[in-house]
Structure formats: structure tokens, C-alpha cells
Amino acid sequence: MKSLISLCLIFLLTSFIIQKEEGTKYVFKEIGWQIVLPSDFNVINSVANSIDIEEAKKNSERPLSKTLISAFKNQNFLIASLTLPDNKPGNSGDEAAQKAFNNSYKEMAKSKDIKIDSSTSTKILDGVRFKKFKLTQIKNGKIVNSFVSLASSYKSYDFIISYMYFDKYTSDEIESLLINSKFAK
């Protein structure tokens, strides 16, 4: 009887572990980051079909960027990318990106029935500190969608993770994926 109970317990634990690890693990060697995406995320781009940033660094005079992964689930998305910082004086990619963002923000703010709310904070993922920027659109008192950008200077790169969600469930799911992602120490 004890062996039957032990066997059932082992079966339940194994089932739980297998169920918890369901999905595909993606590993990005440049920065030593790995993330597991569930099977219901449709990966449309990953590091396997992106440029080799190390080779491109030798042959380029502009900041280089590389998409590590782009994945969608319904209309929700998750994108992670690396940019090699441009250290030339007077040539700030951050300024251009901020200007483009400000222009699109102004366009959204023109809508009379949609309100925009934004916040900034810090988020820690496996010991790595990210600046977090969140932009939320609200219509008739309800959240329509939220866009989140996490940015960190990490291993000589600007590492940016962006995601957009339209419902609380997907928000929680993406947050959980990121919290459980790992960086090589």
C-alpha cells in the first residue's frame, strides 16, 4: 500500500513539473538571458534569423540593433532587442527615439475619448535592474491596453524588452514569463 501511495505521489509531482515547464526555452548567448514562452505564443522572429551583431559591429559606423525575439499571442506582443550603444559625440539614438515616442504620444492624446496615463518605475529581473515605462490607454473609465518598456544597460548593450497587452490575464502571464526568465551569472 505504501508503494502505491509513493508511486501516485511521484506521478503527481512529475505531472506538475512537466506541466510547469511546458513551452519552448529561448537562450540568447550575447547577454546570457533565457526565457520560456508557452506554446500559445507565436514566435515570428528569434535570434536564429537575426543578424550576427558581433560581426556587424566590425563593419558598421551606426548603432546596431538586433531583435532577440518577437512573439505574439492574439493581439498581445512581447519583443526583446539589443542595441549596441552609439558612443559618438552628438549622435544620441536615445534622443531620436524619445522624440519619435513624444510625437506618437501627442497623436494619441489628441483623441477626445481616450485618456493616456503613464508611469515610470524600476523592475528587477533575476538580479538585473531595468527602468520601466508604462503607458496605458483608458476609454470610458476602462483600460483599453497598456504598453510597457523595460530598458537596461547590460553587458555593453542597451537591452530593451517591450510588450503590449489588452487584458489582465495576458498582463499577468507576460509578467510571470519575465520574472521567471534567467540571466547567466
DSSP assignment of 50-115 equals S--HHHHHHT-SS--EEEEEEEEETTEEEEEEEE----STT--HHHHHHHHHHHHHHHHHT-SSEE
Q: What integer is the mean pLDDT of 40-63?
A: 63
Residue 8 forms part of a structural domain:
no
Cell readout for 185 is 551569472
Of 154, 179, 126, 128, give the one whose Cα is nearest residue 30: 154
Nearest Cα to 149, choosing from 183, 104, 182, 113?
104
Q: Is residue 138, in this structure, part of any structural domain at all?
A: yes
Q: Is 84 buried (19+), middle (13-18) or exposed (0-12) by CB count in 10 A?
A: buried
Q: What is the pTM of this model?
A: 0.72
| Strand-by-strand arrangement of the 142-154 sheet | 42-46, 65-73, 76-83, 157-165, 142-154, 128-139, 114-125
Q: Please check the confidence at residue 13 and state whether its pLDDT lies above 80.
A: no
- Does residue 133 lie in a domain region? yes
Residues 6+ apart with CB under 8 A from 121: 132, 134
Q: Is residue 4 part of a domain?
A: no
pLDDT tens figures, 108-161: 666 677 788 889 999 999 999 999 999 999 888 888 899 999 999 888 888 999
Is 145 a member of any domain? yes
Query: Across the chain, what does the average pLDDT equal?
Result: 76
> What type of residue sits at position 75?
Q
Provide the residue range defining the domain that includes 38. 24-183
Residue 166: exposed, middle, or buried by beta-carbon count in 10 A (0-12, 13-18, 19+)? middle
**Within-domain flag for 7:** no
Question: Which CATH number fits the domain that encloses residue 149?
Answer: 3.40.1000.10
Instruction: Give the separation between CA 185 and CA 39, rounded to whole angstroms.
Output: 27
Tell me the sheet residues that pair with 175. none
The verdict on residue 57 lying in a domain is: yes
Give the number of domains in the chain.
1
Instruction: Please determine, for residue 24, whether its predicted confidence score (pLDDT) is greater than 50.
Output: yes
Q: Stretch 90-111: mean pLDDT, rounded?
A: 55
Q: Do the domain assignments include residue 3?
A: no
